[in-house]
């Protein structure tokens, strides 16, 4: 049962309004707005990747309708880190107003600027580092180092006269991170002493007990898998997972192999990371893909995209023999990432396809080749005990993750009344340490389909599913405009419904009889006659063929 939609009351002076526009009830398209005294701060602006029931969709954006008419009031966009589900929708926001300041760490801004360059947008950027404070409109921002699966991630503390909010972004508490940059719990403790009025924590692993394993545990496993492989090694990961690419480079160097990067986003992101010093490339290890074809199989590692089974990504094309590299016996494919909810079937299809080709497929289920970038329950408990926030609004996760996070907060003594289980569009007002739900906006999905943004609706996707699953039937009939009698037809053509269109010969007399009866009853309206045809053939196809195809009746008057 969905939450009832109701408009929030007018925002009073001195009150901070917090509205998640994405990232609640889903893993992706994270975006939250903060409004105070007529000015709006946005934290993150990401995308969600489509699932199988959304055919033809490239990306899904947050629904920014609540701020679309108020873009002049937006004072900045804070980006917590450089993953697509936090920065991917920035170009679509800046299309509407290009000079909105983008605020983030060095790597986060570099990855965002590269994306904006493809959209021919020159952003106004403000680089920040951990420990820095910045005033943006009425918002006093402090940035706190957090550890994640991408370097340079930041939490942001937002101070206004209404109270102090801590928004973590994605984080975990790896105590032995590859880059030596840990989550700054001393800053968390200091903020806790000051008094956190509202805490918005990452919920993705809230239902996972204990602690997320350290990234360093992955290195020896990768080294062992690569050393035992006689042929080529293909590693698939997120194109922004700098730490994982670093480990692959190191393991390849230790085993006398070269590494070639595959996939446009992988090459772009790792080039940026290396140029900024976040990726340490061993001397002579990286090789251009075109030259890699001349390297013996036993001396090459391919680092590719496609760990989520994306149809057009490199790994899926390999599995479908639609790529120059065709994995086979002696080759090892490593899926060095976790499964994003909704992608399971696509990933397992890729694993099956690679296995059929004879490759050895190593993934999280049979070897420790990936650890999560998100805090598990034990780490979140530490946060609650250190911060002792007055109110909690769990974000970034499906409903079960949000619920688990709220339960952790309550276990540490935070009252249930101060723990808000929200949805996208839940409006929360904060004043004097009190957080209150004051509205629920009606938000939807904004689909990117090719060059169109927001033009595709859920009804369009339903039509696509029907076409793909049930087929298509067209019926053409020519009738006399004066008498309504049939002059020609009905002519029936079908795709994906039956092996032979001759099966429809049985329904043609029924269509003719239905149209004749309509004509006798004085029906001459073209639309009404078309609906008569649709009902007649639809009923017959459903009863006789057990199908529900898309039916397009065409009645022509002559």
pLDDT of 21-59, one tens digit each? 999 999 889 999 999 999 999 999 999 876 666 656 667
| DSSP states of 87-153 | HTTHHHHHTT-TT-EEEE-HHHHHHHHHHHHHTT---EEEE--TT-EEEETTEEEEEEE-B-SSTT-
Q: Nearest-CA neighbor of 305 among 293, 287, 292, 323? A: 323
CA atoms within 13 A on the CB side of 152: 24
Q: Give Cβ neighbours of residue 542 (< 8 Å, ≥ 6 apart).
A: 548
Mean pLDDT for the stretch of residues 257-280: 91
Q: Which residue, 362, 155, 156, 340, is CA-closest to 241?
A: 340
Count of CB atoms situated within 10 Å of the CB of 542: 12
SS3 37: coil
Looking at residue 498, its pLDDT comes to 67
| pLDDT computed for residue 321 by the predictor | 86
pLDDT digits (tens, 9 = 90+) for 210-232: 999 998 888 898 999 999 999 99
The predicted model gives 389-405 an average pLDDT of: 96
Residue 483 predicted with pLDDT over 90 = no
Write down the H helix ranges in 426-547: 458-470, 508-520, 526-544
Cis bond leading into 490, ω under 30°?
yes
Directed axis angle between helix 377-387 and helix 399-411, to 10°?
A: 50
Determine the 3-state secondary structure of 31 from DSSP. strand
pLDDT tens for each residue of 305-353: 876 656 567 788 888 888 888 888 999 988 887 666 666 677 788 888 8
Could you tell me if 445 and 424 are in contact, meaning their C-beta atoms sit under 8 angstroms apart?
A: no
Q: What is the pLDDT of residue 339?
A: 63
Helices 218-227 and 242-254 cross at an angle (nearest 10°) of 40
Rounded Cα gap, residues 332 and 225, in angstroms:
8
**Average model confidence (pLDDT) for the chain?**
87
Q: Check: CB of residue 165 under 8 Å from CB of residue 200.
A: yes
> Higher confidence at residue 341 or residue 179?
179
Which residue, 410, 376, 377, is CA-closest to 392?
410
Residues 95-145: tens digit of each pLDDT: 999 999 999 999 999 999 999 998 899 999 999 999 999 999 999 999 999
Among candidates 17, 36, 32, 64, which has minimal Cα distance to 428?
17
Do 375 and 171 meet the contact criterion of CB atoms below 8 Å apart?
yes
d(CA 126, CA 140) in angstroms, rounded, equals: 15
Q: Strand 300-304: give its sheet, edge to edge.
A: 258-261, 300-304, 233-236, 332-335, 360-362
CA atoms within 13 A on the CB side of 133: 6
In degrees rounded to 5, what are phi and psi of residue 315? Answer: -65, -40
At 60-85, the pLDDT tens digits run: 889 999 999 999 999 999 999 999 99
Residue 379: pLDDT over 80 = yes
Measured CA to CA, the distance from residue 418 to residue 425 in angstroms comes to: 18
Q: Structure tokens of 16?
A: 């901070």
Which of 289, 282, 291, 284 is CA-nearest to residue 304?
Answer: 289
pLDDT of residue 320: 83
pLDDT at position 378 over 50: yes
Does residue 259 have a pLDDT over 60?
yes
408's torsion region: left (phi>0), alpha (psi -120 to 50) or beta?
alpha
pLDDT band at 461 (very low <50, low <70, confident <90, very high): low
Identify the band that residue 280 occupies on the pLDDT scale cut at 50, 70 and 90. Answer: very high
């Amino acid at each position: 049962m969905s939450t009832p939609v109701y408009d929030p009351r007018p925002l009073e002076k001195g009150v901070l309004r917090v509205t998640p526009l994405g990232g609640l009830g889903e893993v992706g398209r994270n975006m939250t707005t903060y409004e105070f005294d007529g000015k709006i701060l946005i934290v993150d602006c990401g995308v969600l990747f489509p699932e199988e029931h959304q055919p033809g969709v490239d990306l899904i954006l947050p629904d920014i309708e609540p701020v679309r008419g108020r873009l002049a009031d937006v004072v900045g966009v804070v980006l917590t880190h450089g993953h697509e589900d936090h920065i991917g929708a920035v170009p679509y926001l800046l299309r509407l107003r290009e000079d909105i300041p983008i605020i983030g760490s060095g790597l986060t801004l570099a990855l965002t600027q590269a994306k904006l360059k493809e959209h021919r947008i020159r952003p106004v950027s403000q680089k920040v580092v951990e420990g820095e404070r910045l005033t943006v409109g009425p918002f006093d921002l402090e940035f706190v180092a957090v550890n994640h699966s991408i370097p340079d991630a930041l939490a942001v503390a937002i101070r206004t006269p209404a109270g102090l909010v801590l928004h973590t972004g994605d984080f975990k508490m790896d105590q032995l991170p590859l880059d030596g940059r840990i989550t700054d719990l001393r800053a968390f403790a200091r903020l806790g002493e000051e008094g956190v009025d509202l805490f918005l924590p990452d919920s993705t692993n809230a239902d996972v007990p204990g602690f997320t394993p350290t990234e360093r545990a992955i290195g020896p496993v990768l080294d062992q898998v690569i050393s035992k492989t006689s042929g080529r090694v293909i590693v698939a990961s997120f194109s922004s997972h700098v730490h994982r690419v670093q480990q692959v480079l190191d393991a390849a160097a230790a085993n006398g192999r070269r590494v070639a990067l595959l996939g446009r986003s992988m090459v772009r992101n790792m080039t940026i990371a290396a140029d900024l010093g976040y990726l340490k490339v061993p001397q002579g290890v990286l090789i251009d893909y075109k030259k890699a074809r001349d390297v013996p199989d036993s001396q090459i590692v391919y680092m590719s995209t496609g760990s989520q089974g994306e149809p057009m990504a490199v790994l899926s094309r390999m599995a479908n023999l639609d790529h120059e590299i065709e994995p086979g016996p002696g080759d090892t494919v490593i899926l060095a990432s976790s499964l994003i909810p909704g992608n399971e079937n696509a990933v397992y299809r890729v694993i099956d396809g690679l296995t059929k080709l004879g490759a050895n497929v190593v993934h999280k289920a049979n070897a420790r080749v990936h650890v999560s970038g998100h805090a598990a329950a034990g780490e979140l408990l530490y946060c609650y005990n250190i911060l002792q926030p007055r109110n909690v609004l769990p974000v970034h996760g499906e409903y079960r993750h949000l619920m688990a996070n709220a339960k952790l907060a309550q276990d540490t003594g935070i009252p249930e009344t101060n723990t808000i289980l929200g949805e996208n569009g839940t409006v929360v007002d904060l004043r004097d340490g009190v957080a209150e739900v004051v509205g629920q906006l009606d938000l939807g999905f904004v689909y990117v389909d090719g060059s169109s943004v927001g033009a595709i609706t859920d009804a369009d996707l339903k039509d696509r599913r029907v076409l793909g699953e049930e087929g298509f039937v067209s019926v053409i009939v020519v009738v006399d405009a004066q008498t309504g009698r049939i002059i020609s037809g009905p002519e029936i053509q079908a795709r994906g419904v039956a092996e032979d269109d001759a099966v429809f010969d049985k329904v043609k007399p029924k269509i003719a009889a239905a149209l004749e009866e309509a004509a006798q009853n004085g029906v001459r309206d073209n639309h009404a006659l078309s609906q008569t045809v649709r009902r007649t053939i639809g009923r017959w196809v459903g009863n006789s063929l057990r199908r529900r195809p898309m039916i397009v009746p065409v009645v022509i008057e002559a």
